[in-house]
């Protein structure tokens, strides 16, 4: 049984805290941009955050297999 305050209002797993409605593409963009600015003081967006993560992984001691997996996850093809 759900407590009334936790009762799901729909099929979405991630919902906006104030409205309980599903996140939209714009609301995710806004959430990421505000959170990054709050923690770094720099303006950013989800795409730039994605690029920073990839750069960090590439500069680490990641194996070739891990880099290939990352490339596939990011939507790139692996051609040999």
Grouping H, G, I as helix, E, B as strand and the rest as coil, residue 15 is: strand
pLDDT for 19-40, tens place per residue? 778 888 898 889 889 998 999 8
Please give the mean pLDDT across all residues of the chain: 83
Q: CB of 27 within 8 A of CB of 13?
A: no
pLDDT-based confidence at residue 8 (cuts at 50, 70, 90): low
Contact yes or no for 69/57 (Cβ under 8 A):
no
Alpha-carbon distance of 45 to 31, in angstroms, equals 9
pLDDT of 50 reads 83
């Amino acid at each position: 049984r759900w407590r009334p305050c936790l009762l799901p209002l729909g099929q979405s797993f991630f919902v906006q805290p104030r409205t309980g409605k599903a996140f939209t593409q714009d609301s995710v963009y806004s959430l990421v941009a505000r959170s990054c600015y709050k923690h770094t003081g720099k303006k950013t967006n989800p795409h730039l955050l994605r690029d920073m993560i990839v750069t960090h992984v590439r500069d680490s001691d990641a194996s070739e297999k891990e880099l290939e997996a990352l490339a596939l996850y990011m939507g790139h093809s692996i051609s040999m």
